Structure 1
Amino acid sequence: MKEKLNHLVLSGMYRMTILAVVALVTLMTACGGGIDTNINTPSSEDITITDNHLKPDELPQAMLDARYSQIYERFSPAFKGQISEANFAEMAEDFTQGVESFEQASAMQLNGSDQRVWLNTPHDKGIFVVFDETGFIVGLQIMNLSTWTGTDEMLTTTTYELPFHGDWLVFWGGSNMLVNYHYEYESQRYAYDFVQVKNGYSFTGDPLKNNSYYAFGQDILAPADGTVISVVNHIPDNEPVGVMNEKEPAGNVVVIDHGGEYSFLAHLKKDSVTVNPGDQVKLGDKIGELGNSGNSSEAHLHFQISDGEDLFDSSSLNVRWKDGLNPIRGETLQSTAY
């Protein structure tokens, strides 16, 4: 039986748990659980940085070498309050049994954080770590990963293009839960969250104001030819940023029928939608502007293709992108098609 969600993982770009056990601070988000754009880092009075401290690239091997004390030393004070060194070591030792190596699957520097994902060779175990700007670990998740190889390998019939102009960062995207939080849920498994970033930040100025975010107000485009079948255009944009509307999870959204495949472009700006149900749209036509409506923690685009017109009662489809594009979390995409 298909799992039906009553909320969008869309927005809180990620909700994170420490080692899948202890609730943890989160950093920056888009769909679903909240993310704080500000990272609380220890003061210089609390720490002394030395060259001997564990570097981000060294963490997977340190885990395999059982250098748990060295890793734990890099936990922020707040993070240490969530778990003891003994408990961390016990869980890490159990998790790494039988693992020979980890390879980096994703790296993303955003809003003062350095976020990394590593996978083992069979891709059935992964590590997700968030470092603050001083190199302290403020979030760590280890997970046994499930995959849906059958649907992973089945691409949409229609070829789609990026639904925006310019450069955009993939905040969530890929085929495992550590690079794509949506992946756990059939109705959103192959969804993407996109943000705009400049100089490593998704905003400038006051982080509580929507206009501070580079993505806010940007044109959103039809990803392929089709017929508009559904429009929501009246949902207020969340402000202050960080307050989310769980009652209207998709916020303002346009749904387009591409011949039995349906694109969902969600979290649009209030009163910005330029199309109506029944309109025929061509690839690249403007359909609205990006906002921060619905279950969204900051301005970002939630984009997915589904096999039905009801977002929560359909299955998400793996997108066949033009030129074989395969967007992965942390990758910056450049749209040059329009």
Structure 2
Amino acid sequence: MVTPDTFVEYFNSEKFKEIYDTAFEPFKQNTEESRFVESLQIFHREAGDLHQKYHNKLTMNFNRYFYVNDDETHSLTAAFTDDNEIIGIELYLNEKYDTDDVWTKNEYALPLEEAVVSAGGTDVFHNYHYRTENQRYAYDLTNMVEFYHHNGDPGDLNAYFVFGNDVLAPLDGVVVDVKRDVKDNQIGIVNQDEPSGNYVIIEHENGEYSLLAHLKKDSVKVDVGDSVVTGEIVGQVGNSGATTLPHLHFQVMSDKELNKDSIRIRFKDFESLKQGDRVE
């Protein structure tokens, strides 16, 4: 039987049809068996055998496993239900960047009083931003209770634990840009026209700029030119912009323009953070 622990045995033996047979029915409906098998055959030919490296669980009944080859040039992420049905597989050609060793000159505080890191780190398993240069070291911050993002109707924004939480200035600085009037999305709707949604950008010493994005409509409490201090409330977590669930997008950039490079964040109280970490 294909389970997270035996997945590599089946993969390395090229038993791809057996892996497909383990998949969740909606996955099969969207993925033809022949195309699935062919994709894994090509990937195995290029990558060679795999072994398990990471595992995490960020939501109820949903487990993610990260498998890599010996040289870590290729990787595969598989998502399983608690009943060991495969609900998704992603194939990656791994890339590492010299900028992984370039940290912010400033040290930053977390911009929420408590949070769970839903995306963050220096690999594609922990951080979906990692492949995109202008967001590579960004963090998505949310909050959960026993793997649940909400308590109540999943379509109700106010049921989400993080929605409306205070967003704090991560360091002393001067506000250089704000947006406050973008409507919060209903769950499942994504606003690609204004991907950052409502946001605050703060200029700090050493030519660094923090971005706090996806804020709640009309919650921004600061204006351009305002001086802020670490821990000052600048807005509230929302669901505006290119987001499917309420969360805070936090990154540090080399310029106030939204398309500038992100910089790996040096935190005051943590050596590093990655997906799955809880901060209280």
Give per-residue Cα distances to partners, 1:228-258, cap 9 Å, x unaligned. 111111112112x111222221111010111
Partners of 2:49 and 2:279 in 1: how far apart? 36
Change (3 A) 1:84 1:298: closer
Q: Which runs of 5+ in 2 are unaligned?
A: none
Residue of structure 1 equivalent to 2:83: 134
Q: What is aligned with 2:16?
A: 68
CA contact (8 A) 1:111 1:202 kept: no
Match of 1:189 in 2: 136
* Cα deviation, residue 77, structure 1: 2.0
SS at match of 1:56: coil
Find the aligned partners of 1:219 and 1:96 in 2 and give their Cα distance: 47
Residues 120 and 300 of structure 1: is their aligned pair in 2 closer, same or farther, counting only changes over 3 Å? same
Return the letter of the residue paired with 2:62.
S
Match of 1:333 in 2: 278
Give aligned pairs, total. Answer: 278
Partner of 1:80: 28
Aligned to 1:319: 265
Cα distance between partner residues in 2 of 1:57 and 1:325: 31
Q: Following TM superposition, where does structure 1 have runs of at least 4 consecutive aligned residues deviating by more than 6 angstroms?
A: none
Which residue of the partner structure matches residue 99 of structure 1? 48
Counterparts of 2:252 and 2:72 in 1: how far apart (Å)? Answer: 25
In the alignment, the residues of structure 2 paired with residue 268 and residue 169 of structure 1 have an alpha-carbon distance, to the nearest angstrom, of 17
2:66 matches 1:90: no
Aligned to 1:204: 151
2:167 aligned with 1:220, yes or no? yes
CA distance in 2: counterparts of 1:294 and 1:87, whole angstroms: 34
Of 234, 238, 246, the residue aligned with 2:185 is: 238
Percent identity over paired residues: 34
Contact 2:52 2:65 in 1 (8 A): no
With structure 2 as the length reference, what TM-score do the two structures score?
Answer: 0.91
Structure 1 contact 103–121 (Cα < 8 Å) conserved = no
Cα offsets for 1:33-71 (capped at 9, x unmatched): xxxxxxxxxxxxxxxxxxxx3222332343123332432
Supply the distance in 2 between the matched residues of 1:56 and 1:178 (Cα, whole angstroms): 16
1:307 aligns with 2:254: yes
Pick the aligned partner of 1:122 from 63, 67, 71.
71
Structure 1 residue 80: deviation in Å?
2.1
The partner residue of 2:198 within 219, 229, 252 is: 252
* Alpha-carbon distance between aligned partners in 2 of 1:58 and 1:81, rounded to the nearest angstrom: 24
Partner SS for 1:93: helix
RMSD of the alignment, in Å?
A: 1.9
Paired residue for 1:112? 61
More off after superposition, 298-307 vs 243-252: 243-252
SS in 1 for 2:6: helix
Q: Does the 8 Å CA contact 1:291/1:299 hold for their aligned counterparts?
A: yes
TM-superposed deviation, 1:268: 0.7
TM-score, structure 1 normalization: 0.77
| Change over 3 Å in CA distance of 1:235–1:125 after alignment to 2 | same
User: Secondary structure of the equivalent of 2:274?
Assistant: coil
- Aligned residue for 1:96, secondary structure, equals helix
Structure 2: distance between partners of 1:285 and 1:61:
52
Counterpart amino acid of residue 219 in structure 1: D
Query: SS at the partner of 1:151?
Result: helix
Instruction: Give 1:133 deviation, angstroms.
Output: 4.0
In 2, Cα distance between equivalents of 1:324 and 1:200: 23
Structure 1 residue runs without a partner (length 5+): 1-52
